[in-house]
C-alpha cells in the first residue's frame, strides 16, 4: 500500500515533466521558425538575387503560416518595397495607383504611387525556386483540402522539380484523395516514359480519373504513340473516362431536373388544393407566389446583417401574408362565383393585375434583390465533372419538407378530413354537418399560404419582380392537371417528372422547344387519361 501511494505521485510528476518539456520544445521550434521568417524577409528586402534566393529558402523552411502568401506574391512579381520606410507590401494596380496589403498581417495598408515603390526583382532561377517552395508548402500543409488543391493545380503544369517533390511525398500522404491525385500526377508524367510497359502501367493508374489534364494527356499520347499495345490501352482508358464523364453529366442533368421539379411542385401544390377542392381556376395564384417572395425581401430589409435568420422568419411571414390575401380573395370575390368557372377565371385574372400594380406602386416597378445566406451559396464539388449548387440542394429538401407537412395536415387533422370530404362529395359533407363555406375559406387560405412559402424559395433562385408569378402560373396548372386534380402525390410525381424531362430535352431541343414538347405530351396524355396520373376518388369526382 505505501509503495502504491509513493509510485502514484512519482508517475504524475513524470507525466507533468514530459508535458512541460514537450511544450518547451514546441515553443522553441516556433521561436526558431519566427526568427528564420524575419531573417528571410530582411534578405528579400535587399533586392539582390543571391540574397533574395537565400531569403526565400529561410522563409520557406520557417513553415510560418504567412510564408505561402509572401512567396506567392513574390512569384507573381507583386511584392514591392516602399522607399519611404523600407517595408514590404503586396501591391496591385488600381485607378488610384497601387493598393497595398501588408503580407505579414494581410491587412490593407492604403494606396501608393508607382514612384513610391520598388519591385522586388526575380530571375528564372528564383522563379523556379519559388515555384518549388510554394508547392512544397502547399503539399505539406496540415489541411488536406489545401494539399488537394495544390495537387490539382500541379496536374496542369508539371515540371521536373514538381514531379520529384510529388514522388517524395506520395508515399507519406495519409489522405486517400490527395494520395490518389499525387499518383495521377506521377502517372501523367510517366506517359512520356521511353519504355512501353511503363506507359501502359501509367495508363492503368489513370483509368477512371476525371481531371481534364488526364484526358488531355492521354489524347496527346494517342496523337503521337506508335506502339499498338499502348494505343489500345490508351483508347480503352479514354473510353472508360468518357463513359464516366457522361454518367456524371447525366447525374448533373438529373439533379437540375429535380431542382426544377421541386420549384414546380412548390408553385403548384397550393393550386392543387384550391383547384381540387373548390374547382376554382385561380389565375391570381402566381401573384400569391410573388407576394411571398416580396415578403422575404421586406423581412431582409428589416433585419440587415441577419440574412439567414431573416430567411427563416420570412417562411411563416410569407405563409401568413399570402394566406390572409387568399382568404380575402375567397371571401370578397370567389364565394359569389362558385359554379361559374369562366367568371371566376376572369375575376382572378383581374385580381392578379391589381396585385401586380399594387406591388409596383408600393415597393418598386423594378426587380428587387433578395440575398442568399452564406450556407446557401457556393456548390458541393463532388469531382471535376459533377458540382451541385447548394441553393438548389436546399430547395429540393425544402420542397420535400413542405410536401410532408402539407400531407400530414391533410391526413392527420380535422381540417384535412373536412377538406377531403368536401372535395369528394360536397353535398354529402354538408349533410353530415361540415361547414363547407368555412372549409372553402380555410382551404383557399392554406393553398395561398403554401404559394407564399413557394415564393420565399423562388426568391433564392430567381429575380423578384412584379411579374414573378406569371412565369409559373401556366406550369402550375400543367403540373396539377397532369398529376391529377386535388391529389398531392400526383402533384409531387408530376412536378418532378416534368422538371427532369425538361432538363433532359433542353440540351438538344432548347429551353423553349423543350417546353412546347412537354406541353404537347401533356395534351396527348390528357386525351387518354382525362383525370391525370392519380385520379381523384369519390362520387363527385366520378360525376
What cell numbers appear for 495 in the block?
A: 412536378
The whole-angstrom separation of Cα 463 and Cα 367 is 6
pLDDT for position 18: 52
Nearest to 496 by CA among 314, 254, 290, 301: 254
In order of 224, 249, 252, 496, the CA distances from 509 in angstroms are 38, 17, 18, 19
Banded model confidence at residue 188, pLDDT cuts 50, 70, 90: confident
What cell numbers appear for 313 in the block?
A: 422568419
pLDDT for position 27: 40
pLDDT for position 537: 58
| 221-241 mean pLDDT | 87
The whole-angstrom separation of Cα 159 and Cα 169 is 16
Tell me the pairing of strands 79-82 and 88-94. antiparallel
Does pLDDT of 219 surpass 80?
yes
pLDDT for position 30: 39
Specify the DSSP class assigned to residue 378.
Answer: S
Q: Which residues belong to CATH 1.10.3470 in the chain?
A: 253-374+388-542
Does pLDDT of 125 surpass 70?
yes
pLDDT for position 161: 72
Q: Give the CA angle between residues 54, 57, 63 to the nearest 5°.
A: 145
Banded model confidence at residue 24, pLDDT cuts 50, 70, 90: very low
pLDDT for position 400: 92
H/E run at residue 88: strand 88-94
How far is residue 261 CA from its own chain's centroid? 17
pLDDT for position 291: 92
Residue showing cell 517552395: 133
The whole-angstrom separation of Cα 472 and Cα 392 is 17
pLDDT for position 397: 92
pLDDT for position 19: 54
145-149, 250-254, 495-499: which has the minimum mean pLDDT?
145-149
Does pLDDT of 23 surpass 70?
no
Banded model confidence at residue 210, pLDDT cuts 50, 70, 90: confident
pTM, two decimals, is 0.71
* Tens digit of each residue's pLDDT (9 = 90 or more) over 127-138: 888 888 887 887
pLDDT for position 11: 56
pLDDT for position 316: 93
Does pLDDT of 378 surpass 50?
yes
Please tell me which residue, 394 or 277, carries the higher pLDDT value: 394
Neighbouring C-beta atoms of residue 522, cutoff 10 Å: 17
Q: Provide the CB-side half-sphere exposure for 293 (13 A, CA).
A: 32
Longest dimension (CA), the chain: 100
Q: CATH: 1.10.3120, 1.10.287, 1.10.3470, 3.90.1690. Which one for 253-374+388-542?
A: 1.10.3470
Does pLDDT of 64 surpass 60?
yes
* Tens digit of each residue's pLDDT (9 = 90 or more) over 81-115: 888 888 888 888 887 788 888 877 778 888 888 88
* Tens digit of each residue's pLDDT (9 = 90 or more) over 459-478: 888 888 888 888 888 888 88
Helix ranges (DSSP H) in 63-115: 67-75
Banded model confidence at residue 276, pLDDT cuts 50, 70, 90: low
241-245, 289-293, 428-432: which has the minimum mean pLDDT?
428-432
* Tens digit of each residue's pLDDT (9 = 90 or more) over 303-361: 887 888 988 999 999 999 999 999 999 888 888 887 787 888 889 899 999 999 999 98
pLDDT for position 353: 92
Please tell me which residue, 295 or 272, carries the higher pLDDT value: 295
23-27, 114-118, 273-277: which has the minimum mean pLDDT?
23-27
Residue showing cell 526558431: 32
Amino acid at each position: 500500500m505505501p509503495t502504491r501511494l509513493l509510485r502514484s505521485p512519482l508517475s504524475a510528476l513524470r507525466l507533468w515533466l514530459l508535458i512541460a518539456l514537450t511544450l518547451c520544445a514546441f515553443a522553441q521550434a516556433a521561436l526558431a521558425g519566427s526568427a528564420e521568417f524575419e531573417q528571410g524577409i530582411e534578405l528579400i528586402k535587399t533586392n539582390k538575387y543571391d540574397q533574395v534566393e537565400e531569403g526565400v529558402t529561410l522563409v520557406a523552411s520557417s513553415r510560418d503560416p504567412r510564408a505561402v502568401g509572401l512567396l506567392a506574391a513574390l512569384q507573381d512579381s507583386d511584392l514591392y518595397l516602399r522607399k519611404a520606410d523600407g517595408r514590404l507590401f503586396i501591391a496591385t494596380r488600381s485607378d488610384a495607383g497601387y493598393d497595398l496589403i501588408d503580407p505579414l498581417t494581410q491587412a490593407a495598408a492604403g494606396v501608393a504611387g508607382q514612384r513610391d515603390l520598388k519591385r522586388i526583382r526575380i530571375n528564372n532561377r528564383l522563379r523556379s525556386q519559388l515555384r518549388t517552395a510554394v508547392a512544397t508548402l502547399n503539399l505539406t500543409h496540415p489541411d488536406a483540402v489545401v494539399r488537394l488543391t495544390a495537387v490539382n493545380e500541379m496536374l496542369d503544369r508539371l515540371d521536373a522539380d514538381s514531379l520529384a517533390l510529388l514522388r517524395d511525398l506520395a508515399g507519406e500522404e495519409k489522405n486517400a484523395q490527395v494520395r490518389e491525385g499525387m499518383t495521377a500526377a506521377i502517372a501523367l508524367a510517366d506517359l512520356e516514359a521511353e519504355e512501353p510497359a511503363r506507359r501502359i502501367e501509367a495508363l492503368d493508374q489513370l483509368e477512371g480519373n476525371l481531371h481534364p489534364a488526364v484526358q488531355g494527356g492521354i489524347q496527346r499520347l494517342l496523337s503521337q504513340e506508335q506502339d499498338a499495345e499502348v494505343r489500345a490501352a490508351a483508347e480503352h482508358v479514354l473510353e472508360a473516362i468518357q463513359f464516366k464523364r457522361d454518367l456524371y453529366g447525366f447525374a448533373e442533368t438529373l439533379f437540375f431536373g429535380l431542382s426544377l421539379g421541386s420549384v414546380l411542385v412548390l408553385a403548384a401544390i397550393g393550386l392543387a388544393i384550391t383547384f381540387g377542392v373548390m374547382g376554382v381556376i385561380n389565375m391570381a395564384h402566381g401573384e400569391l407566389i410573388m407576394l411571398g417572395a416580396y415578403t422575404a425581401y421586406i423581412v431582409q430589409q428589416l433585419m440587415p446583417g441577419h440574412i439567414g435568420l431573416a430567411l427563416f422568419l420570412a417562411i411563416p411571414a410569407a405563409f401568413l401574408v399570402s394566406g390572409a390575401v387568399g382568404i380575402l380573395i375567397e371571401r370578397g370575390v370567389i364565394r359569389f362565383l362558385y359554379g361559374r368557372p369562366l367568371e371566376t377565371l376572369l375575376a382572378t385574372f383581374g385580381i392578379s393585375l391589381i396585385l401586380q400594380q399594387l406591388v409596383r406602386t408600393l415597393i418598386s416597378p423594378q426587380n428587387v434583390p433578395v440575398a442568399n445566406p452564406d450556407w446557401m451559396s457556393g456548390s458541393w464539388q463532388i469531382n471535376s465533372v459533377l458540382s451541385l449548387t447548394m441553393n438548389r440542394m436546399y430547395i429540393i429538401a425544402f420542397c420535400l419538407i413542405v410536401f410532408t407537412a402539407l400531407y400530414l395536415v391533410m391526413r392527420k387533422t380535422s381540417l384535412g378530413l373536412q377538406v377531403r370530404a368536401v372535395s369528394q362529395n360536397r353535398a354529402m359533407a354538408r349533410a353530415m354537418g361540415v361547414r363547407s363555406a368555412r372549409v372553402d375559406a380555410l382551404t383557399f387560405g392554406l393553398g395561398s399560404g403554401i404559394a407564399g412559402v413557394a415564393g420565399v424559395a423562388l426568391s433564392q433562385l430567381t429575380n423578384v419582380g412584379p411579374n414573378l408569378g406569371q412565369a409559373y402560373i401556366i406550369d402550375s396548372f400543367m403540373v396539377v392537371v397532369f398529376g391529377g386534380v386535388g391529389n398531392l402525390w400526383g402533384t409531387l410525381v408530376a412536378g418532378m417528372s416534368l422538371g427532369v424531362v425538361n432538363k433532359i430535352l433542353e440540351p438538344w431541343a432548347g429551353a423553349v422547344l423543350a417546353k412546347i414538347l412537354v406541353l404537347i405530351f401533356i395534351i396527348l396524355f390528357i386525351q387518354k387519361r382525362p383525370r391525370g396520373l392519380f385520379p381523384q376518388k369519390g362520387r363527385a369526382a366520378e360525376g
